[in-house]
Chain A
Amino acid sequence: MNQLMRFSRLHGDSKVAPFVAILVVLTLLASMGNLLMPEDSAFYVSTYTITLLGKYLCYAMLALAVDVIWGYCGILSLGHGAFFALGGYAMGMYLMRQIGDRGVYGNPELPDFMVFLNWTELPWFWQGMDQFWFAMLMVLLVPGILAFIFGWLAFRSRVTGVYLSIMTQALTYALLLAFFRNEMGFGGNNGLTDFKDILGFDLQADTTRVTLFAITALLLAVILVISHKILQSRMGKVIVAIRDGESRARFIGYRTERFKVWLFVYSALIAGIAGALYVPQVGIINPGEFSPLNSIEMVIWVAVGGRGTLIGAIVGALLVNFAKTKFTAIMPDGWLFALGALFVFVTLYLPQGLMGLYKKMMDKRRPDNSDSHGSDTEGKNAEPAVKGGNV
């Protein structure tokens, strides 16, 4: 019996189902609180809160993407902001085209910033973005293909550890600089904004806001379940095996770089979807999203929640962002210091994040399971850095 317990624990004693249930119920309650309750009721949820929650959920999805690749495969990507922003830009382009002649300059074809730059026709990469299905395809394809090319080049050359992290960072920084340029045709440093409607629904309307929020929650749940299933499969075990001993995995016959590339692509797709959901809710996408700082923040969300646990990543993203909202309201300049302090604290005292803490507390409550379970993942993050020596 004890063995069976251990077995189920090792195999990700699934807290996913209850978590999804909680997520769905909370989403329903919040939505109803906004749409059905009168504004003076105690249960009324303001549209501002709904949008804020939707934004948090996008971040949670992004954290999930980082966790899949970092927590399970040990690849520390400091450039996931790039995939997020690319997904966001694809969505932004669609929303931009939806404005039509309601822009300041009233040009039915060109977005405002192009008219402002004296452009006379739409650049080729803006073609087709007025079709929703095409834009959604781009949301997936652009980050996916970028991740595939980057991953294929990096993993095939066996770049690991800090070197890979630096390269991902450079990737997002390069994109940041590129998107700042007006000539790129993405609105320069103002980015894309002033969106009016999506699929014909007014973006400012409460119902649209709530629907977007609900879709985000639903997709988060779906992606969580899919990721869980993938990581439970034998492929998931190979991925964990690659994290713990890449050369061992290679010597028992796995082409580890292929597994890494596909996982990287999967992760980038999630990030792209998160970005696409983020933009209509926030109402703007600008090159700031590419900034390396954002990508590092994502890693902190995951570290706080507990890497290697999907739910941990989500919880971490929600909590840190909630704290950010509160903190920046009180002391706007102090947030980065607080974030840094948080990261140091988590690394030193909570190497497994909040989920690790939770597990430890649960283990303490059950006195028969006092073995050294779970204390071994601490060194894992240091490992790729050591191995990075033989690039």
Chain B
Amino acid sequence: MSALTDVREVMRRDQVWSFLKDEQKQVDVSHDVILYVEGLNLSFDGFKALNDLNLYVNDGELRCLIGANGAGKTTLMDVVTGKTTPDSGSVYFGQSINLLQHDEADIAQLGIGRKFQKPTVFEALSVFDNLELSLKQQKSVLPMLFARLTPTEIDRIDEVLNVIGLKEQCFMQAGALSHGQKQWLEIGVLLVAEPRLLLIDEPVAGMTAQETERTAELLTSLAGERTVIVVEHDMEFVRSIARTVTVLHQGSVLS
């Protein structure tokens, strides 16, 4: 009998089979909050890296996360981007997307970009190629094999090159860039993908004062259109950009 009900369920003509449905990829921010982190717990070998952590980030906000070493800042980012699975808790992107059910690649395509602490660019590729790979596109094997660079894509890359100020170095090997330039390139790589939420881990580490200033400008200009979460140690830098600051301590939010 139950098999019959199952079959009937499958054959219903007013509904599309669930596997045929487009995955819901629109972020629902109707309540102004883009990222919900609730009751997050994670421990490594008994060490509580995240301890009942709650965090809400509004759409279009520029949020700074600060805290001592081991406060769980990077771990939080790992969880949000799908690298680590928490022991308990929930992470929602907008109203409806449960990030814990997606893997890194999925989350990236949903529109969450992440910049690592250490600048990570594809060193053997040119600056242009680095950006090209990050473009919003079908990122599975076959489409990539036959992909051609379209004028729209070139425009988009051009635009970002202007923003990050690497127009001159466009065809240089990314490995030959200076440290600060690599940091920017990585931010550019994130921007090309047109993310809704940017997670940026220590963007100004190892930058000169001048470069830091430019980075601050860049990040503030991004907020509003996109949501930016910055993890940073440099208090001066935080003061120069921050509107809201969240302090993490021993895996939970202090203020």
Contact = CB atoms under 8 A, between A and B. Distances in A.
Interface residues of B, number: 39
B38 interface: no
Contact of B140 (A233, A248, A255): A255
How would you classify the secondary structure of chain A's contact residues: helix, strand, loop or mixed? helix
A90 B129 CA distance: 41
B141 A248 contact: no
Interface stretch (B61-69, B119-127, B209-217, B231-239): B119-127
B124 A376 contact: yes
Interface stretch (A2-10, A181-189, A294-302, A335-343): A2-10
Contacts of A67: none
B36 interface: no
Contact of A245 (B120, B172, B173): B120
- Report the 5 A-B pairs with minimum CB-CB distance, sorted nearest first: A253-B108, A235-B144, A376-B175, A234-B147, A241-B122
B132 to A, nearest CB: 7
Contacts of A40: none
Interface in B205-231: none
A255 B116 CA distance: 18
Interface in B170-185: 170-173, 175-176
B140 A258 contact: yes
B102 to A, nearest CB: 11
B104 A250 contact: yes
Interface string B189-201: 1100100000000
A7 B123 CA distance: 15
A259 B171 CA distance: 25
Interface in A208-249: 230, 233-235, 237-238, 240-241, 243-245, 247-249
Contacts of B175: 376
B116 A248 contact: yes
Given A248-B116, A255-B105, A376-B173, A234 B132 contact: yes
Nearest to B171: A7
Interface in B101-139: 103-106, 108-109, 113-114, 116, 120-126, 129-130, 132-134, 139
Nearest to B116: A248
Nearest to A262: B141
A233 B105 contact: no
Contact of A253 (B105, B129, B145): B105
B141 A373 contact: no
Given A234-B133, A247-B120, A248-B116, A253 B147 contact: no
A240 B130 CA distance: 11
A253 B109 contact: yes
Nearest to B189: A252
B38 to A, nearest CB: 23
B114 A251 contact: yes
Contact of B124 (A230, A250, A377): A377
Contacts of B19: none
A254 interface: yes
B146 interface: yes
A120 interface: no
Contact of B122 (A6, A248, A253, A373): A248
A3 B173 CA distance: 11
A10 B120 CA distance: 19
A358 B140 CA distance: 36
Given A244-B125, A245-B120, A371 B145 contact: no
Interface of A: 3-4, 6-7, 10-11, 230, 233-235, 237-238, 240-241, 243-245, 247-256, 258-259, 262, 371-373, 376-377, 380
A233 B144 contact: yes
B145 A244 contact: no
Contacts of A248: 116, 120-122
B70 to A, nearest CB: 19
Interface string B71-106: 000000000010100000000000000000001111
A251 B116 CA distance: 10
Contacts of A371: 176
Contacts of A259: 141, 144
Given A10-B125, A245-B122, A254-B133, 8 more contacts: A6-B171, A6-B172, A233-B145, A248-B120, A252-B193, A253-B106, A373-B176, A376-B124
A244 B129 CA distance: 13
A243 B140 CA distance: 17
A370 B57 CA distance: 49
15 contacts: A6-B172, A234-B132, A235-B147, A237-B125, A237-B129, A240-B125, A241-B125, A243-B124, A244-B123, A248-B122, A253-B109, A254-B105, A255-B103, A256-B105, A371-B176
Nearest to B175: A376
Nearest to A11: B126
Contact of B171 (A3, A253, A258): A3
A225 B171 CA distance: 25
A260 B140 CA distance: 12
B229 to A, nearest CB: 15
Contacts of A244: 122-125
A2 B241 CA distance: 39
